[in-house]
Structure 1
Amino acid sequence: MPPARRTLALAAPVVGFLLGFLDFVWIKWVPYPFAELGNSTATWAVAAFALGWWVRAGALRAAVAATVLLVVAVPSYYLAATLLQGDDLAVVVAPTALLWMASGVLAGVVFGVAGVWARTSGWREVVATALPAAVFVEEALRFAGRARTGYPGAWWNVAIDLGLAALLLELVGRTLRGRLLATAVALPLAVVGAFAFAAAAG
C-alpha cells in the first residue's frame, strides 16, 4: 500500500475515535450554550467534509475515509460515556447507535465527496462550498423552532450556528463570487435538510 494510502487508512479511524470520544468530553464539561456543539450533527458532518478536503485523492477514497470516520465515532462516543459517566457499554449495539452508524455512512459519502469537490471548479465547487454552511443553517432552523417552545438559550445556539455557517463560507470559498453563490445555494439546501431531518425524526 502506498504511503499516502497507509496514512489515510490510519487517519480515518484514529480521527473518528477522537471525534466521538472528545465530543462526549465536550458535552460533559463545556459550559452551555457551547456544549450544544457536542450534540451537533452539523459538527460531525463538517468533520467528514474536512477529511475529504484533506484527502485530495479522489472522491471514492474520500467517501470511504469519511464514512469510516463517522462510523467509528459512534462507538467511540459511547465508550467515552461508559468510561467517564458509567453508562452501559451495551448501548453501542442498541438500535439508536446502529441508526447513527447507518446515518454516518450516508453523511460520510455526501460530505467526504463534498470535501474533494470544494477544491474543483464549476457547480461542484459551489455546492460543496455551500454544504458545510448549510448544515449549520439547518441546525439553526431547528433551534429557532425549539425557541418557540421555550427551549432555554435556543437563540444563543441559533447565533452560534449562523456564525459558524458564515465562517465556513469564508474559509472554504476561494473567491468572493464563489462565496456569494454558495450562500445562495446553502439557504435552500438548509431548508431541504430541515424537512428531511424532521421526516427522519418523526
Structure 2
Amino acid sequence: MMIKRRVAVVAPVAGFLLGVLDFVWIKYVPYPFAGLGNSLATWAVAAFLLTHRSRWRLPAAVLGAVSCLVLAVPSYYLAATVIQGDAWANLANATAVTWMGFGVVAGLVFGASGVLARTPGRLRLPALAVPAAVLFAEGAIGLRRLGDPAYATGDLLAYAALVVALGLAAILLLARTGRDRLLTLAWSLPLAAGGWVLLTVSGFR
C-alpha cells in the first residue's frame, strides 16, 4: 500500500516537472542541446530512470512510468501557454493526444525495463541497454536527414554525436563492471536497430 501511495505522488509530480522543464529547456538552451527537449528518447530515458531508481515492483513501476509520460504532455503545453501565450486548446489537441499515446507505449516499455535492469536474471543486461539503444536509434534517425536542404549538416552531425555520447555515458553509469558494460553495449546495438525500425514505422523522420 505504501508503494502505491508513493507512486501516486511521485509519478504525477515527475510528469509535471518533466513537461514544464522540457519546454523551458527547448526555449532557452542552445542547439544541439535544445534538441534533447524535443526528443522521444529523452522522455523514454526519463521513464526508465524513474523506475530504475525507485524500489517499485513491476506493475506499480509501469503504471508510474505511463502516468509520468502521459501527464508530461499537457504539462509541456501548459508551460507553453503560460510562458509564450500559446492556445489553451493545445493541451488536448490531436498532437497532444498522439504524444500521450506514445507516452503510454514508452511508459510500458521503459518503465518495465527500469525494473528489469535492477533485477537479477537474464533480462538484466538487455534492460540496461535500453536507454543507450533508444538514444542511438534517435541519432540514426537524425542522420537520415543528411542531404535534406531543410536541415543544416553541422546541426545534424552535432546532435547525433550528442545522443551517441549520452548513450555511451548511460552504459558507463548504469552498468557497474567492465564486463557488464561491454555486454550492455553489445545488447544496445541490435536493440537500437530494432528501435530505429519502430521509430521509422511510427513516422519519426
Indicate if the aligned counterparts of 1:19 and 1:73 stay in contact, CA closer than 8 A.
yes
Paired residue for 1:64? Answer: 63
Paired residue for 1:104? Answer: 103
Q: Residue 178 of structure 1: CA displacement?
A: 1.6
Q: Which shifted more, 39-48 or 119-128?
A: 119-128
Paired residue for 1:84? Answer: 83
Q: Residue 121 of structure 1: CA displacement?
A: 2.4
1:8-157 residue pairs with structure 2 within 5 A?
Answer: 8-150=7-149, 151-152=151-152, 153-157=155-159
Higher relative helix content: 1
List, as ranges, runs of 4+ consecutive aligned residues in structure 1 with deviation greater than 3 Å.
Answer: none
Q: Which shifted more, 65-74 or 114-123?
A: 114-123
User: CA deviation digits over 1:91-111, x for unaligned, max 9?
Assistant: 222111111111111111111
User: CA deviation digits over 1:77-129, x for unaligned, max 9?
Assistant: 00011111111111222111111111111111111111111112232111111
Runs of 5+ unmatched residues, structure 2: none
Indicate if the aligned counterparts of 1:8 and 1:55 stay in contact, CA closer than 8 A.
no
Q: Residue 194 of structure 1: CA displacement?
A: 1.1
Identity %: 48
Paired residue for 2:198? Answer: 196
Q: Whole-Å Cα distance in 2 between the matches of residues 149 and 84 of structure 1?
A: 32
Runs of 5+ unmatched residues, structure 1: none
Q: Residue 200 of structure 1: CA displacement?
A: 1.1
> Over aligned residue pairs, what C-alpha RMSD do you find?
1.3
User: CA deviation digits over 1:154-194, x for unaligned, max 9?
Assistant: 10001100100000001111222221111111111111111
Q: Residue 8 of structure 1: CA displacement?
A: 2.3
Q: What SS class does the counterpart of residue 53 from structure 2 fall into? A: helix
Q: Whole-Å Cα distance in 2 between the matches of residues 62 and 24 of structure 1?
A: 25
Tell me how many residue pairs correspond in the alignment: 201
Match of residue 186, structure 2, among 173, 181, 184: 184
